[in-house]
């Protein structure tokens, strides 16, 4: 397998320094060249080299200012930069270069062994940066996929929960109508079949057990929204059992009519209950109760 050559950008206003660096690097690298810091910034952004060797003193823009700008840009912040200079060689100069963001410091004239060692070290750092960025990207991708799967799973379970609640709603609506019809039938027949009708009514009412419906719903609701009701009760201890039910129904997106049938009250009663609930939750007139419950 042929390995792709790594790229080094040399930023120096002296062509003789470029020639020396080329001779030291040999044919192992692609070498780009810029004669001042401003052009060096442009080439770094354009080519994303593995390493930049930056001279300190140059016309148009010096190396230290160029390093500072490159380290302020998200595009180039992770590209290692080695400062080279034949003038600024004191300890304070090294300190300044490192504080600006350079990873190393090369004094001119170059010592071939030192040059190769420092360039090799900087390239290893470049490889580490890129590997870390790649792994970070992969982790973020996996985390995003996991979040998407969890959200889709939660949405699917919420839809199932809403469907189950709606089934109860439709069942209760049908049974309520059936009880009304049986009552009218009892009246029309002058209670001729009163014992039988009474038994049928009793059986229907046993199916129309709102407490049992709520208990079943609550079990499934807490599977989808663990600790939701528990946290709601802990934060708002004054809420009634009926208000807990309303909060749960709002959480899965049921409207007022559906809540009314599930709680066996009129729609107007639900509106009043929602207003009371809003006050108990310390929400202002401009606050959206449904949004609050959805994101609680």
CA-based R_g, the chain, Å:
37
The tokens of 165 are what?
């609640």
Together in a domain, 74 and 215: no
Q: Is residue 135 part of a domain?
A: no
Domain at 22, CATH number: 3.40.50.2300
Together in a domain, 174 and 290: yes
Grouping H, G, I as helix, E, B as strand and the rest as coil, residue 85 is strand
What's the structural domain count of the chain? Answer: 2
Which of these three, 55, 84, 110, is where a domain ends? 110
Q: Per-residue pLDDT tens, the chain, 296 aa: give them.
A: 445 788 999 999 888 888 888 888 888 888 999 988 999 999 999 999 999 998 888 888 888 889 989 989 888 888 898 988 877 666 777 788 788 888 888 888 888 898 889 888 888 888 887 788 788 787 778 777 767 665 666 566 666 776 666 676 667 677 777 777 777 776 766 666 567 667 777 766 666 655 566 777 787 788 888 889 899 999 999 999 889 989 988 998 888 988 887 777 888 899 999 999 999 999 998 899 999 998 88
Taking alpha carbons only, the member of 163, 180, 264 closest to residue 221 is: 163
The tokens of 52 are what?
């930049």
Domain residue limits at 171: 146-295
pTM above 0.75, yes or no: no
Rounded Cα gap, residues 95 and 92, in angstroms? 5
Q: How many CA atoms lie within 13 A of 186 on its CB side?
A: 14
Q: Is residue 197 part of a domain?
A: yes
Contacts of 48 (CB under 8 A, 6+ apart): 7, 75, 76, 79
Together in a domain, 92 and 179: no
Taking alpha carbons only, the member of 134, 283, 46, 68 closest to residue 54 is: 68
Taking alpha carbons only, the member of 91, 45, 37 closest to residue 64 is: 37
Q: Are 108 and 24 in contact (CB under 8 A)?
A: no
Q: Is residue 120 part of a domain?
A: no
Q: Is residue 124 part of a domain?
A: no
């Amino acid at each position: 397998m042929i390995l792709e050559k790594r790229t080094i950008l040399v930023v120096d206003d002296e062509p003789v320094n470029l020639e020396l660096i080329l001779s030291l690097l040999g044919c192992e690298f692609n070498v780009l060249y810029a004669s001042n810091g401003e052009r060096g910034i442009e080439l770094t952004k354009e080519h994303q080299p593995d390493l930049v060797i930056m001279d300190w003193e140059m016309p148009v823009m010096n190396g230290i200012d160029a390093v500072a700008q490159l380290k302020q840009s998200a595009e180039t912040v992770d590209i290692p930069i080695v400062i080279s200079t034949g003038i600024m060689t004191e300890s304070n100069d090294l300190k300044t270069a490192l504080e600006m963001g350079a990873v190393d410091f090369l004094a001119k004239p170059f010592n071939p062994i030192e040059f190769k060692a420092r360039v090799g070290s900087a390239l290893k750092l470049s490889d580490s940066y890129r590997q870390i960025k790649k792994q970070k990207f992969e982790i973020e991708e996996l985390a995003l996929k996991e979040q998407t799967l969890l959200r889709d799973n939660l949405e699917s379970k919420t839809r199932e929960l809403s469907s189950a609640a709606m089934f109860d709603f439709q069942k209760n609506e049908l049974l309520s109508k059936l009880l009304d019809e049986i009552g009218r039938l009892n009246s029309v027949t002058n209670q001729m079949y009163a014992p039988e009708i009474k038994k049928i009514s009793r059986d229907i009412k046993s199916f129309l057990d709102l407490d049992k419906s709520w208990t079943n719903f609550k079990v499934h609701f807490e599977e989808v929204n663990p600790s939701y009701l528990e946290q709601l009760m802990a934060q708002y201890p004054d809420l009634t059992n009926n208000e807990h039910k309303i909060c749960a129904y709002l959480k899965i997106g049921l409207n007022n009519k559906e809540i009314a049938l599930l709680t066996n009250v009129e729609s107007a009663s639900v509106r009043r209950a929602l207003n009371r609930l809003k006050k108990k939750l310390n929400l202002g007139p401009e606050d959206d109760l449904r949004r609050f419950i959805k994101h609680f």
